[in-house]
Structures are given as C-alpha cells and as structure tokens.
Amino acid sequence: MAHLTPFVYRPGSGFLHALDPRARFLAFALLSAACFLLGTIGNCLFIAAILVLGRLSGLSAKDSVRGILPLIPVIVVVILFQGVSIGILFCLKLCSIALLTALFMSTTSVTDIRNVVSWGSRPFSPIRALDLDLLVALLFSWLPIIFERSERVRAAQSARCIERRNPLRRAAVFTRVLLASLLRSAGTTASALESRAYCRDRTLPVFTWGLSESIALGASLAVLSAALVFP
C-alpha cells in the first residue's frame, strides 16, 4: 500500500536520482521557500517546471498529480471561506509544495537521508554521527515491520472474537501483545547489528559534488531570488 503513494522513494537512474543528496536537500529547502513567496503566475510556472523535472527523472505526471488528490477537500474549504482569489493562490501554493515534496521524496532514498544526516552531524561529533544515521535507517526499515505486526496481532485477536469485549480492554491487550512482539524483534535486530560486526569506524558515504550539483543549486537560488524580487 505504502509504495503506491507518490511520496515514497522509487529507485531510478534519472538525473535527480544521480544528484548528490546534499544538493537535492539544499535545492528542496530553497525551492520550498520560493513556493511560499511566489504569486499566482509564478506558482503556475513553478508547477509546470516541477512536472517537467519529474518527467525528466522518469516519474509519470499521473503519479505526481495523485499526490494532490488528498488536498482537494482542504482546497474546497479554503475557497469557500476565503473567497476565490485568495483560495486559488492558496490552492496553487499547496499544489506546488505537494508536487515538490513528492518529487523530492520519490528521488531520495532512506540511504540518502541517512548519508546526509551522517554528513550533517559529522562536524558536531564524529562518533555520534554514525549512531544517529543508523537510527534514521532503522526507524525507516522498522516502519513496515510495525505495520505488519499490528495487522497480524489485530487479525489474531479478531479471530478469537476479542472485539466483543470492552474496547478499552481490547486496546490494552492489543498494545501489550504488539509491544512484546516488537521488543522481542528489537532484541534480534540489536543482536543482528552486533553480529554483522557493527562498529563506528566504518565505510563513510561518498559524495560527489560536480557540475550538475552546482547547476541544481544555482538554479534553485535563482528561483528563490526571482520569487523575492517579483513576488
């Protein structure tokens, strides 16, 4: 289910995928800021640009647009209460942000996030940095396990007709069983990490900042400046 949303990483070999993740993070931050500043026409151009970028990096426009669909109720409410002109601008900004985020998320893997976290926290404490990035990675790889487990525990409890009981008690039993199962697995994960010779002195991620990274950053800066000058 989760992998059907446009906000989930898709492996690919487009130019956005190949970009140094640090450049992608910076560009994302700059462009998000620009989104908030841009006016109606600016946002229309922005959306068009994002769709083209998505296309270039091998993502279908249909997928990108799907990211906007959940926003429709919000947009309707805003137009109803704020009037059409404010409503339309708000709606455009929301769409820009949603599309930009979808583009960023679908080209940025957890490994990228992990590498940037480890790079970003390196100056502060070289020892802590590696633990922090492992934490990020584990958190993400554990989410599916948590979902799967909750579903399994819920199914097992329904099979034993537990819903007839009082809901509070049911929630308590559910939580206890789920936590016990997750803690046991967390123990295995810790043992597995240790068994694979986990140590802090490990291979560091390599970053390659080249021409395309500089261009991406320069372009994002240009968009932000344009947004500042012609709002």
Partner 1 sequence: MTAQDTGIGSCPAEIIRVEDLVHVFGNGTRALDGVSFSVNEGEFILVAGRNGSGKTVLMQHLNGLLRPTSGRVFYRGVPVERDTLAVRRRLGLVFQEAESQIVGETVAADIAFGPENLKLSREEIAVRVAEALGSCGLSALADARPSELSGGERRRLAIAGVLAMRAETIVLDEPFANLDFPSVVMVLRELVALKAAGKTILVLTHEIEKLAAHATRIIIMSEGRIVRDATPEDALTEGLEAYGLRNPFKPRLSLGDLSWLT
Residues near partner 1 (CB under 8 A) are 3, 9, 11, 109-111, 134, 137-138, 140-141, 144-145, 148, 185-186, 188-189, 191-199, 201-203, 206
Q: In whole angstroms, how close is the CB of 3 to partner 1 at the nearest point?
A: 7
Q: In whole angstroms, how close is the CB of 193 to partner 1 at the nearest point?
A: 6
CB atoms within 10 A of CB 107: 26
Q: In whole angstroms, how close is the CB of 13 to partner 1 at the nearest point?
A: 10
Residue 13 or 166: which CB sits closer to partner 1? 13
Closest Cα to residue 66, out of 30, 103, 17?
103
How far is Cα of residue 196 from the mean position of the Cα atoms in its chain? 28
Distances in Å between the Cα of 5 and the Cα atoms of 54, 92, 167 are 15, 20, 31
Q: In whole angstroms, how close is the CB of 127 to partner 1 at the nearest point?
A: 15
Count of H helices and E strands in the chain?
A: 10, 0
Residue 163 or 194: which CB sits closer to partner 1? 194
Residue 72 or 192: which CB sits closer to partner 1? 192
Contact (Cβ atoms closer than 8 angstroms) between residue 31 and residue 121: no
DSSP symbol at 4? G
Q: In whole angstroms, how close is the CB of 152 to partner 1 at the nearest point?
A: 11
Q: In whole angstroms, how close is the CB of 231 to partner 1 at the nearest point?
A: 39
Residue 51 or 186: which CB sits closer to partner 1? 186
Give the residue carrying structure tokens 């990108």.
Answer: 64
Residue 90 or 140: which CB sits closer to partner 1? 140
Angle, CA of 3, 209 and 9, to the nearest 5°: 0
Residue 185 or 212: which CB sits closer to partner 1? 185
Alpha carbons within 13 angstroms on the beta-carbon side of residue 25 total: 14
Contact (Cβ atoms closer than 8 angstroms) between residue 227 and residue 42: yes
